[in-house]
Structure 1
Amino acid sequence: MNEYEEIRKEIDIYLMKRFKYRRSLVRLTPDNIIVTTRRNSRVDLYLRIRKVKSLFPPDCLIVARISFNKERVGHGSHFVKFLAGTALKYGFKYIGIESTNDKSSSFARKLGFQSIDCSNYVISVENLISYFQNRG
């Protein structure tokens, strides 16, 4: 199992436990994108795994799309905290949030993400972990 497949598996296990799914929820595409596979799911995820520099720095896990059936109950913060731990484990240095809207850009700023160009945000894994540790 390669590193990207291991990350997919960890995210799958996390989502299955958090949202009480019995079957696998995510898959890895040939171009290293993790996506949820079920329609009408409680979670919708599209995550890019990138080792090379693009608009985002190299070694970045990029959340391109994430939404939850129930909003404002902590699912987003909990997932980003989990993602920071996963990124650290696999040597990724950054987490990005791509193509934000008003809600997601506000969420990104609240967690300490820095704007790249007003619609894309990035934070170092180290700073994100520090943010969660300081929150208690």
Structure 2
Amino acid sequence: MIEYEELRADIDRYLMERFKYRKSLVRLTMDNIITTRRNSRIDLYLRIRRVESRFPPDCLIIARLGFSKERTGHGTHFLRFLTKVARKYGFNHIGIECANDKSGAFAKKLGFRSIDGENFAIATINLISYFSME
């Protein structure tokens, strides 16, 4: 879908600017997953879902997100960016799939609600409120 390719391009531009990459590192798979090519600094796997599953409908689901330098604000900065992109493309929720202890604590800090103990979701409007109060 063209819309998903535009979403991929927005994420690619963001990562290229933030991490000073010259070449594209984000691709869109046939089953609507945005992922980064192998590199040492960023690991991203983002599912695009319009239909309800274990997550609410119209949800961008972070299945994997990692940065080589942890606890430097990259995750929060990316979530702030992803919130804007979600609104731009009509996604009303952001989810975190199979959270470990660190990502679960991060999700709770930002106001995500547990779906089943390991998966979390939040309405984008709630993230906008959270970031506007910082």
TM-score by length of 1: 0.97
Map 1:14-53 onto structure 2 (within 5 A).
14-40=14-40, 42-53=41-52
RMSD over aligned CA atoms reads: 0.8
Partner deviation per Cα, 1:4-43 (whole Å, 9 max, x = no partner): 0000000000000000000001100000000001232x11
Alignment of 1:104-119 (within 5 A): 104-119=103-118
- 1:115-126 matches, cutoff 5 A: 115-126=114-125
3-state SS, counterpart of residue 48 of structure 1: strand
CA–CA distance in structure 1, aligned partners of residues 91 and 16 of structure 2: 23
Pairs within 5 Å for 1:76-95:
76-95=75-94
**1:57 alignment partner in structure 2:** 56
Gaps of 5+ in 1: none
The whole-number CA distance in structure 1 between the counterparts of 2:56 and 2:86 is: 14
Q: Equivalences for 1:94-105 in 2 at 5 Å?
A: 94-105=93-104
Post-superposition CA distance 1:75-131 (Å, at most 9, x none): 000000000000000010000000000000000000000000010000000000100
Read off the aligned partner of 2:126 and give its amino acid letter.
Answer: N
Code of the residue aligned with 2:17 in structure 1: it is K
Q: Gapped runs of 5+ residues in structure 2?
A: none
Q: TM-score, normalised by structure 2?
A: 0.98
Runs of 4+ residues deviating >6 angstroms:
none
What percent identity do the matched residue pairs reach?
Answer: 66
1:13 aligns with 2:13: yes
Distance 2:27 2:38 in 1: 10
What's 1:71 paired with?
Answer: 70
Secondary structure of the 1:34 match is strand
